[in-house]
Amino acid sequence: MLYSFNNEGKYMVMFNPEIIKKSVAYEAEEGCLSLTGTRKAKRWQSIKVQYQNEQFLPRFKTFTGWTAQIIQHEIDHCEGILI
């Protein structure tokens, strides 16, 4: 699975991202291009992700806030989950 996104002004690519640590749960309301309207979703304020970079080297990075929420949403899609 490949995921690319804007990480604070710099584009970042993650192959096979997996959330390995999460903290501070909250309820978000999200929209999605695959569905009409918005829906509630449980999200985590901080997530640590294990992934492979463009050279397929293993990496770990912690994301917070909006970036963490977007990553969680997209990983859900890759796992067949729609909000």
Q: List residues with catalytic annotation.
A: 74
What pairs with residue 2 in β-bridges? Answer: 15
Which three-class secondary structure state does DSSP give residue 70? helix
Q: Answer for the pair 13, 54: CB distance below 8 angstroms, yes or no.
A: yes
Q: Answer for the pair 1, 78: CB distance below 8 angstroms, yes or no.
A: yes
Q: Answer for the pair 52, 15: CB distance below 8 angstroms, yes or no.
A: yes
